[in-house]
Amino acid sequence: MSTTITPPGPQADRGSLPLTNPQLPALAPVLAAVIAFGLAALAGILLGWGLVGTLVLGWLLLLVVLPTWSLLVEGERRSKDRFVTTLVWSAFGVAMIPLVALIYQVVSKGAAVISTEFLTYSMRGVLGEGGGIYHALIGTFIVTTCATVMSVPIGVMAAIYLVEYGKGKKLARYITFLVDVMTGIPSIVAGLFAFALFTLIFGPAIRFGFGGAVALSVLMIPIVVRATEEMLKLVPDELREASYALGVPKWRTIVKVVLPTALGGIVTGITLAIARVAGETAPLLIIAGTTTSANFNPFEGRMMTLPVFIYSSVTTGGKYAAENEARAWGAALVLVAIVMILNLVARVVGRVFAPKTGR
């Protein structure tokens, strides 16, 4: 009696293949970084290098160690992926260095100055210690509010015309070109424009808060137009067509359908535009001027703002230069906090008013 041995078929071969490729452990990047920077630290100590040279050498070693380890274990494809990922994270780290350094510098030097007196007192009659930024806070709020009231309606309506009414028209192309030009205008040019305009109307040496608001609105309008235009373009045409099919006129479709759909992005763009112009110095220095007292009337008298207060404090030398510099750091911290709050508000508003998805 003979026995026949059947060779293993395709099913047996398939069952013996591994289901996953070999992979590095999850802590592989950390281990590679420890090895790379450890070798770099050793070389830095032996060769007498500084911190920067040691960090650069460690980064170069990391770009070699991690992809090589991945190539030996995971293969060429994963090795390339880890190399590019390391480059991306390195670029992110380099970009964060000036931001972290700036925040640390402002907080470390400005936090000691912040107090109730600093926020509720002006600089009227103050030469040395004491005083605060109350007058600059009031001026910043009034000037920025006036600029927003002027810029938002103009910017939103211009964007509505470009998207809803001006498609293919020469006027729309001209407006788009002018908006692009205005976006790149230096801020000091906007200040000179406002100064020349009000000098022609009221005579020379005119300084008042409303002029600063006009200068800021020149910078703010193109930002609002661009942000609103992009948000309106994201509204699907099917929504407009459905409204037209029900007999709704175009203006009512824009008001009831298009604008509510894009409201979250529009409000976010407006808030970011406010944060952008709140830190302008040159145009306000030219047309709004400086003062040590709080001025609540934007149409009469000079008006101090936070950016101008910082500039004036830093550039004022003499006997009280140290006190002025300390106040400048405190005002800078407050200004950074205001801009950060506006950015957070923009994110929250964008999420609240974003179109709801799902059923």
CATH number at residue 256: 1.10.3720.10
Judge whether 257 lies within some domain: yes
User: What is the enclosing helix (H) or strand (E) of 29?
Assistant: helix 28-47
Range of the domain at 98: 25-103
- Asked whether residue 88 falls in the same domain as residue 215, the answer is no
Q: Are residues 132 and 230 in the same domain?
A: yes
Whether 359 maps to a domain, the answer reads no
Entry field: residues in the chain = 359
- Reported for 77-80, long-range contacts at CB under 8 A and 24+ positions apart, including other chains, are 78/23
Q: Please tell me whether residues 172 and 232 are part of one structural domain.
A: yes
pLDDT of residue 4: 54
Question: Based on the domain organization, do 136 and 174 belong to the same domain?
Answer: yes
Determine the pLDDT at residue 38: 92
Of 103, 134, 162, which one is at a domain's C-terminal end? Answer: 103
pLDDT for the residue 7 = 53
> What pLDDT shows up at residue 307?
92
| Assigned domain for 77 exists | yes
pLDDT at 167: 84
pTM across the whole model: 0.79
What pLDDT does residue 357 have?
Answer: 56
Residues 289 and 327 in one domain: yes
- Domain edge (last residue) among 71, 103, 135: 103
Question: What residues in the chain have per-residue pLDDT under 70?
Answer: 1-20, 354-359
φ and ψ at 334, to 5 degrees? -65, -40
- Residue 227 in any domain: the answer is yes
| One domain for residues 122 and 188 | yes
pLDDT tens digit sequence for 210-255 = 999 999 999 999 999 999 999 999 999 898 999 999 988 999 999 9
* Same domain for 234 and 176: yes
Residues 144 and 73 in one domain: no
- pLDDT for position 18: 56
pLDDT digits (tens, 9 = 90+) for 138-170: 999 999 999 999 999 999 999 999 999 988 889
Is residue 55 assigned to a domain? Answer: yes
Q: How many domains does the chain have?
A: 2
The b-or-e profile of 5-22 (16+ CB within 10 A means b, else e) is eeeeeeeeeeeeeeeeee
Residues 156 and 278 in one domain: yes
Do 346 and 202 lie in a common domain? yes
Alpha helical stretches, state H, 50-75: 51-73
Q: Is residue 206 part of a domain?
A: yes
Residues 62 and 139 in one domain: no
Nearest 5 degrees, angle CA 154-CA 155-CA 156? 95
Torsion of CA 187, 190, 192, 196, to 10 degrees: -170
Residues 68 and 216 in one domain: no
